[in-house]
Amino acid sequence: MPANNQKNSDFMPYISSGQSIAEVTIKAIVLGSILSVVFGVANAYIGLNYGMTISASIPAAVISMAILRTLFRRKRVTVLENNIVQTVGSAGESLAAGIIFTIPAFFIWAANAELAAQGYDHVVSKNQIFFLSMLGGGLGILLMIPLRKYLVDKEHGKLAFPEGTACAEIIVAGDEGGSKAKTVFLGIGIGAVYKLLFYTSRLWSESPGYDFKRFLKGGTVGVDATPVLMGVGYIIGPRIAALMLSGAVLGYLGIGPLLSFIGDQIPGIIISPGTIPLSEMNPAELRDSYIKYLGVGAVAVGGFVSLAKSLPVIFHSFSAGARELFSRRASIEDKPRTDRDLPMSWVLIGSLLIIIAIWAYPGTELHFMGALLAVIFGFFFVVVAARIVGIVGSSSSPVSGMTIATLLVTCLILISFGVSGVKGMVTAMSVGAVVCIAVCMSGDIAQDLKTGFLLGATPRKMQLTEFIGLLFPAIAMGFTLYLLGDAFGFVKTEATPNPLLAPQANVMATVVQGVMNANIPWAPILVGGMIAVAIELLGIQSLPFAIGLYLPLSLSTPIMIGGIIALLIKKSNKDKILVNARHQMGILFGSGLVAGDAIIGVITAGAIVGSERFSTGGYRDFFEAHEPMTGSLTGAFGPYLSLAVFVGLAVLFYFVARAFGKKLS
């Protein structure tokens, strides 16, 4: 396959435009739809638990090659069929990201006693989640269509689209033979068994840790010893992992002990929004009362800074997109197969229907102004997201910053028209949900279209199948959120003592609630924002740092371990070809660990809810009774066993990447 930096005029895809081979087939659609639901549900669980999602394109492509070749040995499976599978299969992951960043805010508000006293009674139903998913996802797909020619085709050689390019290379390599699928399935198996033992069976502790009592009182150390976080750390790499850990170190080994020291010096002092004396707070209470709000401010500023850095890209892409929207005149059939998009009439009519649907649909409080805002912000940020993922990839796209910007501006506009309080909160978050989903989907389809461009796929067939990839996970998302909410909750209560963290949704909920009701604790949020500004002034990317400051330290440490494994692999040999092969196999193994861990997590959540609905709740009682650090089946030995097994998994990860990478090279 030609290099990605080759000039567009000289470019020849893997399958030329004159060739006609199988592309959209029933087996590709069915397998892609299944993978879309699996990765969508898995990423919803991962994102709500840990605040991040993983790209599904590469794992979907590898799994597709393995399954289709196994089931259809007599009939050759084409690279374009595999491309359709990954196109459909990766849509669920992107939808999940857009959903978990926003929709849980409704559940968080519903569990808030103060809001209930103010009259908050909005319940987001499964049908409304499906409705918002389809509208936001459809908007993202449609608005990306007129941008394909410019961003993917004309900018070839300038925009790398790293995930899309890597996915194309893997599909081509698979067409030529390889052992990548074995690595992914090995990771899935190990991740699933590991999760089943420590989490579902409660055999050992999940999160061994220690709260300091004298030295560094108020500080804490720990590690969530889970395969998913190790895999995520490897995938995002050592630099981003280190930035996250640095934020956690500042919050939980710096600010926490400082607050505790102040409390000891001034006995009995209570500082809002805390409700008990500082000296009596443990690290978890310090986080809930102060460090969490510092993280909210840092994440908000980090997102805005990422957005501000993209302003030149925004204006350039906006003008190019507008030109593409109004200047296309050539007949579709007169163009080469590899240059045929869905007609512009589809884009215009589809966008108009989405505006009408947003306006007319009851229950979301999205009146005409909200519908208009959703589409305006949607188009603006779809252009932004599509261009940004072409430069830095999907993982570094500042989706949270764009969503926060949408929410803040929407809140201010609504307030200026006299819409505030509970009604304004629901309207603003509904707008934010549609925009966030559209942005996430546009980034996914941009990467997919790049893969198709390199392979020689037909753009309009990919664009149509994106809607299929959106449909089935959109149906599953509502059930998944309710399942996880029933099992774990989103707010800490007596019934849900260890809720899902949902960091982005908590940030969105805090921002909207504070602006609409004028009761936000601005002081710690502004201080957190200033910390992010200081980090940026040092020339360091503040958003990963801010996420680390918001999340507990125990989540950042295993991510850092995964990053260290990636660093060791990159330093394992001077032969660049061998090192790249090892790193690629490490990514596939890490993706498998993530998928296996997440799938068992969702199955366990289903078992918890099912034990209450269809029996006496025995499994839930067992699950919760063995939840504390020393309450596992191995008792006080549990934390030590947890650390030992986790270290063993890290060593296995390293040697699997080395061994399989050597075979690949």
| Res 281: pLDDT | 93
Q: How far apart are CA 428 and CA 420, in angstroms?
A: 10
Distance between CA atoms of 299 and 427, rounded to whole angstroms?
Answer: 23
pLDDT of residue 530: 95
**pTM, entire model:** 0.73
pLDDT at site 56 = 74
Residue 394, pLDDT score:
62
In whole angstroms, how far apart are CA 504 and each of 23, 136, 143, 251?
38, 18, 25, 18
**Tokens 């503040």 sit on residue:** 542
Distance in angstroms (rounded) separating the CA atoms of residues 459 and 87: 11
- pLDDT profile of the chain (665 residues), mean per 10: 52 82 91 91 80 71 79 75 91 90 90 80 88 91 81 71 72 64 83 91 90 90 90 84 92 94 90 86 89 82 71 61 56 71 82 82 64 74 70 58 73 78 84 86 87 90 92 93 87 78 83 79 87 92 84 89 94 87 85 78 76 70 76 87 95 90 62
Buried b (16+ CB within 10 A) or exposed e, 427-447: bbbbbbbbbbbbbbbbbbbbb
For residue 256 the two structure tokens come to: 């926490």
Output DSSP code: residue 64: H
Cα gap 228→558, rounded to integer Å = 9
* 211 bridge partner residues: 220
What pLDDT is stored for residue 366 in this prediction?
Answer: 60
Q: What is the pLDDT of residue 111?
A: 85
The residues, any chain, with a CB within 8 Å of residue 516's CB and separated by 6 or more, are 411, 414, 415, 420, 421, 422, 424, 425, 428
Instruction: Note the pLDDT of residue 432.
Output: 84
Predicted confidence at residue 601, as pLDDT, reads 78
Q: Tell me, what's the pLDDT at 37? A: 92
